[in-house]
Amino acid sequence: MHRQTLRGLYDGLSRGDFSSRELTEALLGRIEAHGATLNAFITVTAESALLQADLADKARANGTGGPLNGLPIVHKDLFCTKGVLTTCGSKILGDFVSPYDATVVQRMADAGAVMLGKTNMDEFAMGSSNETSFYGPVTNPWNTKLSPGGSSGGSAAAVAARLVPAATGTDTGGSIRQPAALTGIVGLKPTYGRVSRYGMVAFASSLDQAGVITRSAEDAALLLGVMAGLDKRDSTSADHPVPDYVAGLSKPVKGLKIGVVRQHFDEGLDASCAERVRASLAALEDAGASLVEIDLPSIGLSVPTYYVVAPAECSSNLSRFDGVRFGHRCGDPEDLSDLYCRSRGEGFGAEVKRRIMTGTYVLSAGYYDAYYLKAQKVRQLISRDFKNAFEKVDVIAGPTAPTTAFAIGEKTDDPITMYLNDIYTIGANLAGLPGISVPCGFADGLPVGLQLVGPHFAEETILACAHQYQQLTDWHTEGPEDFA
């Protein structure tokens, strides 16, 4: 059962090949068996999962139930889940039990999904390797000495190791797509506002977007159809029609204009990764798509722009974690100032502190215009470049990450080198565009990802392109042997 996609499991449940309880028990067994090796989970909700599975089986017997009835999923541990720990991978929220569900969690539950637990992540989603988590690093199922990427590394590792068929994630600068590429699975970041952020603990509010990590584009389409749509509790939620993403998968790539960004194939891209990405583009061209070379002149400024805008927003968002209302509180504070300083000093990790300090600096008097305001202007230039490109092409394609998975500890001493891992993904976040990473082969035995980016609310187009590519290839069916 664990080798099947979400759609395959749905069909198996519908035929009566197995029950939701049997499926849930089998996957909980795999999570227990491999939990220590991967460290992909912060919380496993076995008891409530079995209760949900029994309810799903009863609903199916009665001819009721939603589109995800009985299907197991997991949530990244920054989605609030009622009655369950929501830690954001941080000591400061180590004992926080949410009193409500995030919209994403609620919509999944309403559709009949069975939640198996909460996955490990970089602290407050700040990181590209899942090494900043208070709960320790997640390991890559393809080689447990390597990083699975981040910040949604726990979700990616769990799906890649076939512990679960699907997981939620969040993407602020590539945190769904990059780990998907490094672990050989599918990662979808929707258009900003396409999926509600209500109940999703904020890192950078103008960049954060909830999405999914799955084994196929078809599974991603199924989940997005449940998650997407207006939520009046989220002021950034878009009032935009939600199409039938699964039905749209059949659209052929013939006639599709695919833009290939010249700037993405530079000396920073590993030669083996470049070879695999170009081979995938050739396969799409053979299927009838046309390849068009395009320029994104300002895309090289995306990393420095992001690392001004995102820390500025995080310094504001994380100011609420002060030891007063909830979360970690220091022992025996001398006064209010001591309470604030020691609670935050003890509760936050080094990377979070680094970004808070950077953000506070760029927002401070005398530096706001020089850094934050200038970064917002450059952000508009990047958005304009994408807009101009989409006047010529339907989809923009290229590598998801500059290299394959790297060793745990390899980049922790050099934050700038770590930040450059998101060089190909950040642009879509700055412009609010949808993007998807799909497996496109291997380099030295490790997965490589192909990224597809579309115009605003063009998830249907990039999902169809990704699905059609997966009909031409079988890279997405490959899995790590140690977790077979």
Cβ-Cβ contacts under 8 Å for 102 (sequence gap 6 or more): 79, 80, 81, 196, 198, 199, 200
Contact 451, 424 (CB under 8 A): yes
And the tokens for 68? 């995800």
Contact 399, 450 (CB under 8 A): yes
Question: How far, in Å, CA of 340 to CA of 125, rounded?
Answer: 22
β 257-261/290-294 pair status? parallel
Does the annotation mark 91 as catalytic? no
Helix/strand/coil for 250: helix
Contact 197, 209 (CB under 8 A): yes
CA 128, 131, 137, 143 torsion-angle sign: positive
Does the annotation mark 237 as catalytic? no
Q: Among 76, 118, 189, 411, which one carries the catalytic annotation? A: 76
Which amino acid is present at 2?
Answer: H
Quickly count: other Cβ atoms within 10 Å of residue 188's Cβ: 32
Q: Among 98, 133, 155, 175, which one carries the catalytic annotation? A: 175
Cβ-Cβ contacts under 8 Å for 88 (sequence gap 6 or more): 77, 78, 121, 123, 124, 125, 201
Contact 276, 240 (CB under 8 A): no
And the tokens for 115? 């939640």
CA 183, 186, 192, 196 torsion-angle sign: negative
Nearest to residue 306, comparing CAs of 341, 355, 241, 268?
A: 355
Question: How far, in Å, CA of 98 to CA of 82, rounded?
Answer: 5
End-to-end CA distance of the chain: 11
Q: Among 98, 151, 196, 280, which one carries the catalytic annotation? A: 151
Residue 200 forms beta bridges with which residues?
Answer: 79
Helix/strand/coil for 291: strand
Contact 303, 423 (CB under 8 A): yes
Question: How far, in Å, CA of 412 to CA of 351, rounded?
Answer: 10
Contact 395, 258 (CB under 8 A): yes
Cβ-Cβ contacts under 8 Å for 409 (sequence gap 6 or more): 131
Question: How far, in Å, CA of 18 to CA of 35, rounded?
Answer: 24
Quickly count: other Cβ atoms within 10 Å of residue 237's Cβ: 19
Reading phi first (left if > 0) and then psi (alpha if -120 to 50, else beta), residue 244 is in: beta
β 257-261/395-399 pair status? parallel
Does the annotation mark 151 as catalytic? yes
Task: Return the active site residues.
Answer: 76, 151, 175
